Structures are given as structure tokens and as C-alpha cells.
Structure 1
């Protein structure tokens, strides 16, 4: 071995050790990227308004180039930084410009300065984060303004008191994320990815933005409806209200005013809509709302929002089997398991058009529902589901694994519940409530799923009943394919949900259908690796793999034809695995890079129509 070659080996080892010691293990560069990757403006990505359910004009998008550093946990704000990172892409992703892993004994720091005009009297500046994984502390001009725990819910801090005179303000953000070494919700993230477990996601992964509001302002709104009465209900939460303040809500249908009501702060507003139009996948009608905070005749604050009139309920068919109803009628719900991962951005889509592409392709294939699997999307994703017409089942991201689970063929899953520590329970409950609060207003969401299989499942009865009581407008699927808690023949929650690969199956409606809605929460998983469009060249997998599109389509058609019989006998919904390939999984309807669609969309839509055409009579 010559000395020059020996030197290069030693140098490479030293660099590797140095990177590991600093918690900056570089991740392999993926061989594929989505079509939108080259469109990313690294100076100003994701410029859409991030909160479509509560819009104001007075905001500044802070996405773009920030300084970053990966430092030993607990060392404080760094004095120097490792380079630039593109916010809001997670540090492990290629679109962040970094592509490095952060270990649990390290913290990820962000830093930038911003220019602000002087804050006027009786005005506040709020610093918003769409989502940061997992623990976040924010400093403004060196002063800590708050700490937040939770990787999937939006949060903000009032930074008014930390601002200095002059226009330049310094913002530093500390993030700590133990991934699978901690009990926190994390979905499919693991430190050592393999199989169905994927690359870690650390740090800011949704939009960062500033908002200026009056001291007395609308802090939150809760929109709902009364389907039977044809009304839209709005419950605003006001920051720093005076006793004489009032709230005015005006509703519009395609630009025409259809209702208005004014009440005192603290009262719920209910607007009667003449000749109401109902929301459904076939007709996703949305009413625009203007919500104003008034002092006398003076408007102190105003936000724009929207709502829909739709109902999710339970009925019984002629055989006495429970069915899930939309607007009083049986609609078979069929959609893909959608994990929302990207080869270039991981949790973060490269562009808003990319998110819309996934939803629109799902619609074009003839699906009417999406199960958002152990991940929560940005608010804009749900807005597009609302306007396009796509029902959503929303999972709680799992965490803190360890309990056992078994399947009794054709019946239910049984096993043990996780014995969580008090801190772990608290983390789960706090984040689940925050996720529901943040996404309550989206009419596309028709079901909450607290647990998937037995992944960290604990106190199922308590969590399920709390969810049912907290949001009575949706179904609750206590444990999709998981440990069912039985009370006689009734499963706790509204739904009994079987997972079965690859063929369609369901629990016996004669045993369980009288007490619960019967659904097939996962099936299919038919795999087709497409050369040049896989995460890695070999060792990819699906639940059942095929060599070409024709063989894949023939097997898929068999699954659909078999499901018609299940619908006639009691099945209310089904979820096919999955929307896209994800990392080494190749069982997607599309490849991971979205460049190849494995099925003909028109053929699929026609095939799926056979499922919706199965007639089920509901006893009134």
C-alpha cells in the first residue's frame, strides 16, 4: 500500500469520526428526485399562506436560507455555524442543502436576522411555526420566548416584548429530537431505516412566518355545522377582549352573501343558510366566511375562513349491520394509505404543486378517501382535500413501541396494551389534542384514528372515549388493525378495522356488525419496482411483487372484484396500501418520485365505480 493511498484512508476515517462526533453523519444522496425538486427556490420556498382556515394580510414568510449548526446538547446558542439550511426542509433531506443526521445527544440550531418596522402601540408580533420535530425553544435577541414539544402541530410565540429598537432582530431556534430513542410521536421515523421504517426527520419541516395583530385579536376559531338545520356555527376565541366587543360573521356562497350574524364576544354564532349546499366528494361545496372583531362600529380585527355543511353518521342496513353514512346516505369510502413522504424532502413536499398532484391523482384514479397514515400534513394539504373533494381519515403518529400483538384470522387483533410512563402518556395526550384542535375545521376529515395496530397503543378505552366526546362530529377508529378492546361483541369506538394482506377481507358482520362499522383498514400492498425510479437499486419489496404493469393490474382487479361481495355483506370502507412507493417499499400506485404511475387512471376510476355502485338500503 503506497503512502499516498494510506494517507487518504486515514484522512477519510478522521473526517468520518469528526462528522460522527459532531453529530453530523452524512446520509446517502438518493438516486431519485421528484419532478418539482428542480423548481425549489432555495431563497424563498413554500410561499403559500400557511393557515387557510384563518387568513390575514399582515404576515411575512420566513422560509429560505437560515444558518444552522449541530451542537452538543445543552451548549447554548452557537457563536459560529456550520453552513446554510433551506427552511422548511428537514436537515436530513437533500432539499435542505444539508443531508445530515442528528443524534439524540445533539441539538440542531437555526439562526437568522429579520427586518421589522417598529411595532405600533397596541400591536403584537407573533412568530409562527407550522411544525417542528420535536422539542423547540425560540430565542429572540438572545431571550428565550418559549418552548414547545410536539412534531405535528402548529404553534406560535408572542415575541413583542423581546424585540429591540431598530429594524434588525435576531432569531435563534433550538431543536432536539431523539427519534426512536424517545417516547414521543414520530410515525415511521427510526434512526436506522429499513423495511417499513424510514429516514429520521429533525427540525423545522413546515413554514415559519411572522404575523402582526392588534392587541385585541381573534386568536382561534372553531367552525362546525348543524346538518339537519342547515346552519354554519362559528365559535371564536378572542385574545384580550373588552366586555363591549362583538363578533360579526358573514357567509358567502361563490361571492354572494348568504347569511350574517353579530353577537357578543363569548357567544357562539349560528348562521342559517337558505337552500344549503352540502359538501361531498362529488360536490365539495365550501362557504367562505369573514369573521370580524368589532368595538362599536370600528373593526379591530378580521380573518377570512371557510366552512362546509356535511354530516358523518351511523345507520343500519336491511340486515341490521352498521354503516358509515355521509349526509344521511351510504357512500362506500375507498382510498389509499397515504404516508406523505418524498425522496428529496422527506416529510416536506418540494412544492405545494407536488402536494396537490398526489391528491388530484388519487381523485383521478377514482378514490374518494385518503387515510393519512401516522403523519399530519400542513394545513394547506387539508385545504386542497376540502376544495377537491377528498375524505380523510387522520391517524395519530405513533411512538413508544413495545407492546405485543397477535391476529386471530378473520376476527380481531388481540394482545397487550403498552405500559407507558407518565411522561409518555402526557406527551401523547397533549399532542393528540393539539392535532385535533389544529385540524378540526377541515370538513374533509371524517375519522380520527388514535392508534395503528399495536404501535404504542395504551389505555385504548380512555383515549377513544375522550376523542369521541371531544369531537362528536366524526367517527373514531380506535385501533386500525390493532388491539381491539371488547365490551361483549362491541369494539370500543365506532369502527372495527381489520388489516389483511394482500386480499380483501373483513371481520364477521354477523358477530361484529351490529355494534360497529366494519372496515378494511389496510390491504393490497401489491409491489412493482420500476427500474430507475427506486430508492435503492435492489432489495426493494412489496407484500406481493410483480414483474410488469399488466400482471399488477390483473391482480389488482381480482382484489376489487372480490370486494364487491364484502360491501354487500357489511363492509363500509377500505384502504389500499399505498399511494406511492416509500423508500424501499415498492407497493405504491405511483413510484416514490411520482414520475411513473403504475396503473391507468381512467381504467382504475371505472373499476372503482363498481364499488360505489353496490346498492345498500339504509333503514330510516
Structure 2
């Protein structure tokens, strides 16, 4: 018989049993840990050698809304790959290191799953006794694509969507002592309609290895019976107001939200609201604005009250900043930050890793790409057809990098690749496909809404699954009027949204111009160098143009940069260089795929990049 979840059960027998179970688990974990190692012989980052299987990605996974108590469930889990429709396996195939996808080296497995199979996970966990009298939430950072979850044989939830976090209240399913968590995942990669970015079943060129299953942190969190589920932060620079909406799990007018805005330990502004209304806080007259040159963040303390009783409390942060557009004295529509012209300039960032695929081997590695981008003199990153873990966006917030966020593409047939970008023909999706696109795009926007660094939403890229462009763009703009919308980066162009986005390889060209919107260069460059010591594969490497040394690559980069300067004066208001790193057989990166070599002269590139970023402020 299942003993219900009751922390008040506390006798000598239970205590001895718990200690015995803990001892067995520690011995088992130590034994398997000694056997775990990365799979395969591909190149790896330096962080791959630093992984501790008992302490994988230990950082708090949701810095925009933080509580003090939580439990990380990353580590070694049992796994099995079974045909679709089979029941939970009686025996497992081995162990997998969560949260690395099963196809990755760092999972310790490196196996394909495919649409005919399902991936099963299992692990045990215990709930700390000090969490009694709380609800227990089970959080997943991201699982690609369809996840079914059981706790102690009780179905606790299902989620579809490979890029956004989700959670379940698992309290009724818990028992004292050991609990068993089982997850089943199905993903068809490029055989279905779901968004999947650059993943394909047959990787080549600009298309990469599939990612299946859990690929972000799994964790437990205790919360009060009435608690804050989400927060939505909106700055208004013109009115000098910061709006903070705390969304609770219970719609009750009795609850009051109090927000304190802090600089260090000093409270600089406060506000309160009831009836689930946003707290509108008047900021100090000497408010500090966020920008790439000065990425100032205010700490937030958000408290939920019932009278004088504190129900819940979370820590967050916010920035005062404004994204907008304005016509300059030459009639060119320019992007603005805080009501000043700013040329957005940064790399196309795919967010792939040779050892972890979608998952960086450590938080230091995740932050490294952001830091290196800033050190190279850029002020922006276009996050290309992928969504990152929450901590990546916090790194951008802290270091002062504007983010253009793509919707991961999907539902694209081979013949659609060959269509011209300007023929005015749009793909017709099935009702199921369209509904899923809208669901996942809204979830992505909700997930990232409060991060100050997000400046531009990009729902489509190069006609990859592009449909109902006007309708989707207008909905995106209406749903979040605080940001700019790039309707189709390099795709089928329609007079909607805030930008006309051109793609041109390798050298920049201004071949179309929009006098009513900002004209931007969404992709250019792709200067390749296949450095022999840092290749995913020794042969089969690909680049838009190929060179053989750092000096040659840097010279070509500077040549394109000087051409770009002239085109900015003629009408470009932003540009995206391809790309941050090499990815698999694509060798167009400023860095090698293993992040061990910066392929350009950093000083020369930084100098010209800073000139470009500041060109409109002179």
C-alpha cells in the first residue's frame, strides 16, 4: 500500500529505513559515477573535462524569479529506448547524464531515437522533511518534444514543446521516503510539424544532429499553498514607471502584492496592488537606464501578502530601457534604445556545443559565449532558431547584450527550400500545425517577456515554414508592444512589422530598401576557416567562403565591416554577422566549435565592431 506524503510520520523504523536507502543510493551513485564518461570521439570543450556527475549544472535555473529552497534532480538517471506504444520498461538500457540529450556525447549514451521509438527516463528522489506543509513543484527547463511524466506510478502531467519550461504540482502523488520519477519522451525531429530549429535526421551543411528528450535542468521547489506562479515586468522609460505583475495560482482579491526596488541593500522605490493588477512603481528621478554600455539592473523583492501574513516571496531583477524606432534627419528609419539611435550589431548565435549539443557543459561555458561576444565589440546577439535556458538571458542582461529572439522553425518540406523568397507565396499549414505554432510561440514569448535584453522578436526565418505572415506578425506586436518585431528574417517579405530584413552572403549588400520600416541586414559574412585541430569531422567541412589563416579571415572580416559602414549611411539600421562559432561541419565561426580558438585577431575585430556600434551616435 502506498504511504501518503506526510512528513509528520517520524518514527525510528522510518528513520533507519531512510538512512539505509540513502546509503545504498550513495554507494550506487559512486559506483556508476566512476564508470560514466563522455561517449564518442568528437572534439569537446574544455568544460567537458570538469563535469561532476553528482553536481551537474548546479546553479539556480530561473534567476528572473528566485526562491531560496530548491533541489536539483540533474545527474545519472536510468534510460531505455523502446518502440512507440510500449509500456514502461521492466529493465533499462543503462544510465544517462541528465540534462544532456541522448544523442550528445555528455549524456554518456550518444544514441539516436527516431520517430518510431520513445525515450524513457527513471530516477529516485526524496523530499526534504523541512519542506513539509508546502506544495511540491516538479520543474523541467525544457524537454524536446512531447513529455509524459509519472511520480510513483501516478500520471502528473504532459507537455508538448521543445523550448520552454513547464512544471507540475506533484504533491498528491508523493510518498514518504523514496519517490520514483518516470518520464517518457517522443520526438520526430524533422518528420513532423513541431518547431525544431536546425535539427535534422540526416545532418549536413547548415543542418545538425537531432536533440531528443531532457536538455535543461530538472528540479524540485517547495511553494506555499497560495504562491506566485509567474511575473511579468514592463518598464516605461517615458513615464519613468516600472510595472510588475505577479501572477498567482489562486485568483483572490484578498492577496496583496508588494514590490520593493533595490540598489544593493538600499530600497529606492516601492509599490503595491491587489486584484491581480500590476504594481506600477514610480522610479527615482535619477533613474539609471540599461544599455550595452551601462547594463544597470535593479533588484526586486516581490512579496505576496494576506493581510499581515506573508504568503510567498521571490527575488527578481529589472531594467529601465526602451526599444523603439524613429526617422533620422535623412529620413532613414533607425532603431532606438532609450530614445537614442543605436545600430544593432552582433553575431548569429546558434547555441550548439560539440559535447552537449543543445546544452552547454557548464554555466561558465554558457556565459563564455556572451562574454566573448561582448569582448569582440558587439552589442547584440541574434539567437538563431533556438531558445536558451533562462540563465543565458540573465547573462545577456548582466553583460549588456541586446537579443534578437528567433522562433525555432519547423514544418518545412524539402521542396519549400527551393522557392524564391520574394514570390509572395506562403505555405499553408494544417490546422494542427498552425495551432501548435501559435501555442509554442506564445509560450516562448511568455517565458522570455521579463528579460530586459530581449529587444526584437523574429517569428520567421527565410521562409522556413513561414505562413500567415501578416497575421502572426500583427499578433506578436499586439501581444508585446514593448518590443520590435522582425516579421521574416531573410524570408518572404510583406509590408508588416517593424523591419525589412535582408540576407546576403558573403559580403554585405543593400539590394532592397523600405522607407517606412527599418532596413536591416539579418545575415551576412560566413567567412570560413577549417582549422585542422578543431574540426567536428576531418572532411566534409563547409563555409560560404574559405580561408587558411587567422590573418586572412580577419582581413576579410575587416573588408566586409568597412563596406557595411558605407551601407549604414545609405540605409541599414542593424546587421548580423554569421556566426559566433563553428557548428558541426559548418566552419563559419569567429570561434571554433570547441571554443578553444578565436579565429580572428580580437583587437582588430573589436576596434572595427565598436566603430560600427557607435556609428549612429556620432
TM-score by length of structure 2 reads 0.91
Distance in 1 separating the partners of 2:398 and 2:306: 34
Q: 1:118 to 1:76 in 2, by over 3 A?
A: farther
What is the CA distance between 1:336 and its match in structure 2? 0.3
Partner of 2:499: 495
Match of 2:455 among 427, 441, 446: 446
SS at match of 1:138: strand
Match of 2:404 among 388, 393, 398: 393
| 1:423 aligned onto 2:432 | yes
Q: Is the 8 A contact 1:205 1:348 kept in 2?
A: yes
Cα deviations across residues 354-373 of structure 1 (Å, max 9, x unaligned)? Answer: 01111111101000000000
What is the CA distance between 1:613 and its match in structure 2? 3.9
Distance in 2 separating the partners of 1:460 and 1:243: 40
Distance in 1 separating the partners of 2:119 and 2:559: 49
Q: Structure 2 matches for 1:208-607, cutoff 5 A?
A: 208-274=218-284, 275-402=286-413, 404=416, 413-485=422-494, 491-509=495-513, 512=514, 514-607=515-608
When structure 1 is superposed on structure 2, of 262-271 and 455-464 the one drifting more is: 262-271
Partner of 2:214: 204
| 1:143 aligned onto 2:144 | no
Distance in 2 separating the partners of 1:120 and 1:34: 38
What is the CA distance between 1:28 and its match in structure 2? 8.5
What is the CA distance between 1:597 and its match in structure 2? 0.5
Q: Is the 8 A contact 2:39 2:107 kept in 1?
A: no
When structure 1 is superposed on structure 2, of 114-123 and 247-256 the one drifting more is: 114-123
What is the CA distance between 1:58 and its match in structure 2? 1.8
What is the CA distance between 1:103 and its match in structure 2? 1.4
Match of 1:69 among 50, 71, 80: 80
Q: Which runs of 5+ in 2 are unaligned?
A: 1-37
Distance in 1 separating the partners of 2:407 and 2:226: 33
Q: 1:586 to 1:119 in 2, by over 3 A?
A: same
When structure 1 is superposed on structure 2, of 113-122 and 243-252 the one drifting more is: 113-122
Cα deviations across residues 167-219 of structure 1 (Å, max 9, x unaligned)? Answer: 21110000000111111000000111111110000000000000110110001
Distance in 1 separating the partners of 2:265 and 2:352: 36
Q: 1:437 to 1:607 in 2, by over 3 A?
A: same
What is the CA distance between 1:31 and its match in structure 2? 2.7
Q: 1:450 to 1:30 in 2, by over 3 A?
A: farther
Partner of 1:6: none
Cα deviations across residues 364-389 of structure 1 (Å, max 9, x unaligned)? Answer: 10000000000000000000000000
Match of 1:91 among 102, 111, 114: 102
Q: 1:348 to 1:434 in 2, by over 3 A?
A: same
Distance in 1 separating the partners of 2:533 and 2:418: 37
Cα deviations across residues 320-371 of structure 1 (Å, max 9, x unaligned)? Answer: 1211101111111110000000000000000110011111111010000000
Q: 1:211 to 1:613 in 2, by over 3 A?
A: closer
| 1:171 aligned onto 2:181 | yes
Q: Is the 8 A contact 2:152 2:173 kept in 1?
A: yes
Distance in 2 separating the partners of 1:367 and 1:199: 28
Q: Is the 8 A contact 2:324 2:483 kept in 1?
A: yes
Distance in 2 separating the partners of 1:346 and 1:134: 15
Distance in 2 separating the partners of 1:121 and 1:31: 46
Q: Is the 8 A contact 2:150 2:156 kept in 1?
A: yes
Distance in 2 separating the partners of 1:120 and 1:151: 30
Distance in 2 separating the partners of 1:557 and 1:80: 58
| 1:127 aligned onto 2:138 | yes
Q: Is the 8 A contact 2:343 2:616 kept in 1?
A: no
SS at match of 1:98: coil
Q: Is the 8 A contact 2:550 2:601 kept in 1?
A: no
Q: Is the 8 A contact 2:270 2:281 kept in 1?
A: yes
What is the CA distance between 1:615 and its match in structure 2? 3.8
Cα deviations across residues 43-62 of structure 1 (Å, max 9, x unaligned)? Answer: 22101100011100121000
Cα deviations across residues 47-86 of structure 1 (Å, max 9, x unaligned)? Answer: 1100011100121000001000001111121111011100
What is the CA distance between 1:232 and its match in structure 2? 1.1
SS at match of 2:46: coil
Q: 1:180 to 1:437 in 2, by over 3 A?
A: same
Cα deviations across residues 448-507 of structure 1 (Å, max 9, x unaligned)? Answer: 00000010111111111100000001110110000012xxxxx21110000000011124
Q: 1:120 to 1:35 in 2, by over 3 A?
A: closer
Distance in 1 separating the partners of 2:61 and 2:617: 40
SS at match of 1:299: strand
Cα deviations across residues 205-245 of structure 1 (Å, max 9, x unaligned)? Answer: 00000011011000111001111121211011111254322
Q: Which runs of 5+ in 1 are unaligned?
A: 1-26, 486-490
Partner of 1:13: none
SS at match of 2:149: strand
Cα deviations across residues 506-562 of structure 1 (Å, max 9, x unaligned)? Answer: 2443xx1x2111100000000001111000001201100001111111111110001
Q: 1:120 to 1:281 in 2, by over 3 A?
A: closer
Q: 1:70 to 1:320 in 2, by over 3 A?
A: same
Distance in 1 separating the partners of 2:132 and 2:316: 27
Distance in 2 separating the partners of 1:247 and 1:466: 29
What is the CA distance between 1:137 and its match in structure 2? 0.4
Q: Is the 8 A contact 1:406 1:414 kept in 2?
A: no
Distance in 2 separating the partners of 1:120 and 1:54: 19
Match of 1:190 among 197, 200, 218: 200
Distance in 2 separating the partners of 1:507 and 1:223: 39
Q: Is the 8 A contact 2:520 2:573 kept in 1?
A: yes
Q: Is the 8 A contact 1:278 1:308 kept in 2?
A: yes
What is the CA distance between 1:118 and its match in structure 2? 5.5
Q: 1:30 to 1:392 in 2, by over 3 A?
A: farther
Distance in 1 separating the partners of 2:452 and 2:566: 30
SS at match of 2:563: helix
